[in-house]
Structures are given as structure tokens and as C-alpha cells.
Amino acid sequence: GLLQAFVESGRTAELGLLPCGAGIDFARGLGLSGEVDLALKRIADAKAHNVDAGRISYVDDHGALASRHFINIASLGLSGATDRAVNADKRKGKVSAKALFYWRTVWEFMRYRFQDVVITVDDGVPVEARVALVAVANGKFFGGGMMIAPDAELDDGQFDIVILRAAGKLKLIWDIRLLYGGRHRNHPAITILRGKKVVVEPLGDAQKNAALLDVDGESPGRIPATFEILPGALTLRY
């Protein structure tokens, strides 16, 4: 909303964050307290920092072209299915977000069919892969505390692109635990790239491989999708 109302019109605003959502992953990456008074004091005392944001163009659930901005992480595949399951779960807000995201991730993974996509980063050679997940990260955390992009920085003008390729499901489910500590960099199914623009398209059967999107915890549509970095687009107090 800020990006549409202020940045693209040439106006400016400073954003302060109160961590009160289900996952609070972006706030977690900033080290913000979940206690309201402490968070307010920190906002009042903090200096302003310019941070990057992202813009994603995609196909919505009605088949129309759409776009929106994101500040933390946009991804596709298992994460999109998990988003929809978490947001529809009646226990949301009543149980630990970490537990809810973890068990929904495992449950959706058991049902998930790996999808074939082609990934192009900047002007590089397209990468064809059968994937469980592709995360285009500005921040470090998603999914209620998973450090999917441990080396991501909010102000470096680039995305960290984390590709989780298809592998044995039982082994991958066991290895999900590695994500919480960012210990997956050298996992054989993981590829990490960096870039300013990412295009992900279905490979082969477009309908079967039109992976669901996750955009900062919501699933508004599916691929094909284009992700673009907007350097220094937002001013945060943290």
C-alpha cells in the first residue's frame, strides 16, 4: 500500500512495524520485539533506514494478469499451498505460528506434486528444474521462523533466490528442520542464486506446472511470474 500510494507517486513516508501477525517473519529478521511497548519505544528512538522492496507480476486465480509489491519474501510451490492451508486453518491465532506452519508444511508436502519450471535470473542462462520450492528473498525468514535465505540483506539491491529441487519426500521432510537455523546452504537439493530480476515459468504442461505463489504470507495466484527488486524503495524505522 505504501509503495503504491507514496513511492510510485514520488511522495515519501516512514514505516514503523508492530509485530502482530501470524508469522511475523519480516519483523523477526529485523530483531523486533513482539511486546508492543518495547516495539513502540524502538520505533520512536530508531533512525530511518532505506530498504529494498520487490514487485511481482503474476496470474491471479481468475486467470488475469496482476501485480503487487512485497517487502520480505515471495515464493512459489509448496509455500503457496502451505499459505492457503494456514490461512484457512481455524487454529490460526490460537496455537503457535511456528508449530502451525511446520505441521501444515509437512502435511502439504506429503500431498504435493513436484512441478517443472524454468527459472531465469537477470540475463543468465535459464535453469530448468523440478522443484518443491523457489523463494525470491529480500528478507531472511518466512513460514513462521524458517531462515530460508540466511545471507539475504534488505539494502543490497539484490534478491537471494533459493531453489529447493525435487528429492525423496521423507528425506526432505526430515531436513526441513535445517531451515530454522539456516543450515541448508550445502544441502544437495538446494541451489542459491542472486539477482535483480527473476522470471519463473511453467515447463511443459502449463496447467499442471502453474505453481501457486506465496507473497508475504498470502497466495494471490500462480506462475508465470516476474519478480523485480526496487532498491531503497521504502524507509523503515527499526
Q: Is residue 58 part of a domain?
A: yes
Q: Is residue 116 part of a domain?
A: yes
| Domain count of the fold of the chain | 1
CATH classification of the domain holding 175? 2.60.200.40
Structural domain range at position 90: 53-231
Q: Is residue 36 part of a domain?
A: no
pLDDT tens digits, 141-197: 998 899 999 999 999 999 999 999 999 999 998 998 999 999 999 999 999 999 999
Average pLDDT in the chain = 92
Q: Is residue 57 part of a domain?
A: yes
Q: Which residues contact 10 (CB under 8 A, 6 or more apart)?
A: none
Q: Is residue 80 part of a domain?
A: yes
Element (H, E) at 151: none
The CA distance from 19 to 155, in Å, is: 21
Q: Is residue 47 part of a domain?
A: no
For residue 121, the model assigns a pLDDT of: 98
Q: What is the mean pLDDT of residues 213-225?
A: 97
